[in-house]
Structure 1
C-alpha cells in the first residue's frame, strides 16, 4: 500500500514478464526478447540475476544467428559490468554491440549504443571522446523525434561538459533534459539529471541548491529501485550535509551507501566513501579517525590512478601501433609505385628497342648501349635494396632498444606513482594535521616509528630501482676485489638491527671470523641488505632472523634464515623470474618487486649461485655462494666479540 503507483505498475510489469518467460520454454527469438527485456529491468536491482538472463539471451541468439537479440544481450551484459565499476569490460561489450548494429544499420540501436559509448568515455575521464559519440547519438534521435531517448542523451552531454568543467554549457543541456523528462513524467531519467545539477551546484558552492537536487535525485533513484543510483545519491547527500554542518545526516547517508555498495562491489564508490568519511571526521575534529580514513582513501585513490594510467597507456599504445602501420603502408605504397614506374619504363624501352632493331640494323648499337645501361640500373637498384635492408635492420634494433627503455621508464613511473606516493601521502596528511594544530606533538609521535620504517623501506626500494634502471639502460660493470664478508656485514648490521627492533624481531649472525671473498663489494652489500630486509619484512613480531656462513676451499656460502610467513607454493616459481613479484610484509611494508631479481643478477655476475627454501607458515632461507679469495687462508682476520645491552630496550647487540 505504501508503494507509489509508478512502482506498483513497474512491479506488475516485472511479474508479467517473468510469468511469460516461465510459460515460454521454447528457445526461439520470442524467448530471447523476453530475456533481454527482463535483464534491462533488473540490472539496477539485481546485477547477478540480470547477468544470468543476459548470458542466456546471448547463448540462444548465437545458436539462432539472431543479430538483434545478440546486440541487446551484449548491451545488457555491459550495463551489468557498469554496476560493478568494470568500465573496460563494459566498453568492450558495448563496442561489440555497436559494430553489429552498424552492420544492420538499425537507427534506434545506433542511437542507444553511441550514447552508451559516450557515457563510458565520460566515466573514463575522456569527455572530449565522449562528446563525439554523444553528438552522433543526439543527431540520430532528433531525426527520429524520440523524446525519451533525446532527454537521456542531453543529460549525458551535460555530464561530459561537467567533466570538462564547462558548467554553464552543462547546465544548459541539463535544463533541456529536465524539461523533456518532466513533460514525459520520466522519473527514472530525472534522477540522473538532478544528480548532475546537484554536482554543478556543489562545485559552485551553492550547497542549499545542491541539497535540494540531490534529495530529488535520491527519491527518484529509490522509487525506481536503482541500487547503484541510490549509492551515488547517498554519497552526494553526505558530502553536501557535511558542508552544511548536518553531521548526523551525513553519517547516516554514508552508512547507507557503504551497506549497499558492499553488495555491488563498486571500487570507485568505495574510494569516494572514504574521502567523504575523512571530511566528516575532520569536521567532527576526530583527527585520528580522519587520518585512518584518509589512509584508506589514499590507497584506493592510488590504485584507481594506476588503473587509469594503465588504460591511458593501453590506448596510447594502440594509437601508436595504428599510426605506425599507416606510416608503413604509405612507405610500401610509394615503393610499389616506384617499382611499377620502373617496370613500365623498362617495358617501353624494350619495345622501342625491338621496333628500332627491325627498322634499322644500326640501332643495334643503341640497343646494346641501352641494355648495358639497364644492367647498371639493376645493379644500382640491388645496391639500393641492400642499403634499405641494412637500414631496416638498424631501425628494428633501435626500436627494440627504445622498447626496453620504455619498459624501464614505465616501471620507474609505476614505482614512483604508487610505492613512493603512498608514504609521502600519509606523511603529508600527518603534517597537515600538525600544521593546523589539529593534532598535538604527542599524538604525532605515535606515528613516527611507522613513518620512519616506511621511509626507510622506500629508500631501500629506490636503491633497488635505481640500480635496476642503471643496469637496464647502460649496464653495470663488475668491480671485483678481495674483501671480508664479515666486515661488510658488520657495517650494515646496525641499521638493519634498528629495523628489526622496531618490529620486535630478533636479528643475529654467527659470522665470528674473517671470510675473504673475491667479488664486487657494492653488489654484495646490496644483496645482503635485500635478503636481510626481506627476512625482517616477512617475519612477525617475536620472530627471529639468523645469518650464517660456511666456507670451503673454493666458495663461501652465506645463508639468511627466518621463521616468518614463508612463500606460498603457487608463487615460489616467480621469486627469481623476470616477472616483478611483490607482496606486502607482516606490517604492510611495500616493495617494488626488484630486490630478489637484482640480487640474483648481481650474485651470478660475481660467479656465484643463489637459491632458496621456503615452507608456508614456517619461514624461508635464502643462500648464495661467492668465490673465495686466493689469500683467504693466508691472511685470516680475528674479531673481538663484545656483548652490549642497548639502552632503549635491553636487546643484546653483537659488535666486532
Structure 2
C-alpha cells in the first residue's frame, strides 16, 4: 500500500487544529443572521464582536470572506488598542490560508499572531499560535518542529486547565505517530482522548474526531470491523451537526476500508462524497488525498483510463499544495497504473521520481527524532510527579501536628472575629454601599466618555460618506440626464415624422461618440461606487503588460483613426507583473481613452515600461495640450469639474478616481507629470512578483 495511509493524519488534522466546528447548513444560516446584525454605525466593540463571529462562521462557507472579516476586525482592534483581538485576527487570517492549503502564508500569519500575543501577554493566544504553527509544520513534513510546537501548546493548556484544547493536542501528537507508522502508539493516544472526551459533556465535535482517529489506527492495526464501526459512528455525529469537513473525512475513511476489502464499488460512493465536500471547501490538499484513493478504487476495477486521469489530477493537486509526501504517493500510484497496463518504460520513470522524493523525506530519522522528543516530555512529566509525591509524603506527618495547633487558634480567632463582625457590621455595610455607588458612577462616566468619542468619530465618517453620496448623485443627475434627453428628443422627432430615416441615421452617427463616452463613464461610475460601498476582491496573477496594452489599442482603433493619432506600444513582451488582470485592463483602458480624448489631430501616444527594484513602472505619454497645476491637484478625486476633449468629448474624471483605487488595491501607485503645452505622462507602478502584504 502507498505512503498515502501514513498521510491520513494530515488529512484529518485541520479539523482539530483550527478549533472550529465546520457546520455548513448551520453556518450559512448563522452567516445570514450575523450579516443582518452588522451595522457600521454601531460602536467599534459591537462591530468587532460580530465580525469575529462572521470570520468563524465563514470557515465552512467561504475561506476568502473569513480572511476579509478577520482583517476588518483586526483594523478595528488596532484602532481601539485591543492587542489580544489583533493576535486572534492574525490567527484567523492564517487559518483562512490553511483551509486553502496555502501553508507558507498561513505560517506567516500564525507567527504574526504569536508575536502580538506574546507582546500583550495573551496566554490563550500564545497557546493557539503554537498549535497552529505546529499544524503548518506538520503539513510541510517538518515533524520534529511540529511536535515541539504541539508540546508548547499542550503545556500552556495544562496550566490553564482547558480540557478541549488538551485533547486536541494529544490527538495531534498521536496523529504524528500515525504518519510515521507507529500505529500502536498512535492508538494509545487516541484511546486516551476518547476517555477524556467522554468526561466532557456536549463535546460532539471532539467525540466525532476521537472516533475517526480510532477508525484510522484500528484499520492500520488489521481490525477492519472495529475500524468501520468507529468511522460510521463518527459519520453519524458529524452529519448530525453538519460538519462538512468531518463528513468528508469519515466518508474517506469508510471508502478506504472498502478498498482494503477490495469492495471497490462501495468505496467509490463514499469517496465521491468526500471529493465533493473538499472541493466545496477549496481544500487542495484534502482533495488530493481523496483523488489518490479514488484512483486506487478505479485501478481495482481495472478502469485504467479513469485511474490514470485521476492519478494525474492528484499529482497536480499535490504539487499545488507543496506536499512532498502526497507527490511521492501520486508518483508511486502512476507507476503502479502504468505497470498494470504493461507500459513499463513510463512506469520506471514514475518509480524513479517517486524514489527520489521519498528518499528526501528521511522518514526513519524523523521518526527517531519525534519519539526521542516526546519521550523527553513524558519522562520529564513522570519525574516531576515522583518528586511531588515524595515531597507531599514527607510533609504530611508535619501537617498533622500543625493542623491541630492551627485548629485551636482558628476557633479562638473565630470567636474574636464574630464579636468584631457584629460590632462593625452596620459600618461596613454603609461603606460598601457608598463604594458601590461611587464605582457605578465612575463606570457610567467612563462609558459616556467612550460613547461620545465613538459618536464623534462616526459623525466624521458619515460626513465623508454623505459628501461622496452627494457628489455621486450630482454626477448622475447632471451628466447622464443630458445625453438620455437628447436621445429621447431624437426618437420623438422621428416617431412624429419630423425626421426621416436618413436624417435620423446622420444624427445618430453624430451622437455615437456621446453615447460611447456616456456608457464608458457609467461603467467607471458603477465600478467606483461598488468599490466604495462593497470593497474589492483582488485576484492577482502574473500578467503580461504588453498584451493588455495591445488589446486596448485594438479596441479603440476606430477612435484613434478618427483623430489621426499615432499610438505606439514600446513595452517589452517579456515584462510581467503580479496584479489583478481585469483591474489593470480597466486602468489601461481609462488612461488610453483619456489620452485619445484630449489629444489634437496627428498627436502621438506612447506606452513604455521599465523595471525598478521589485516594481514595474509603466508610463503612457501623449503630446496633447497638457494639464495645469491646479487641475492636477484634484485629478484623482471627485472634486474635479467636468472637462471637454479636443473633439468636444466630455471628461468626467471618475475614471481616474477608479484607476487610483484599482492600483492601490494591487499595492501600486499612480502619478502624473504634465505641463501646459508640453503633453502629459501618467506613471503606474505595480509589483513585479508576489510579495507578502
Please report the TM-score for the alignment, with normalisation by the length of structure 1.
0.45
Q: Which has the higher contact order (CA 8 A, sep 6+)?
A: 2
Please report the TM-score for the alignment, with normalisation by the length of structure 2.
0.43
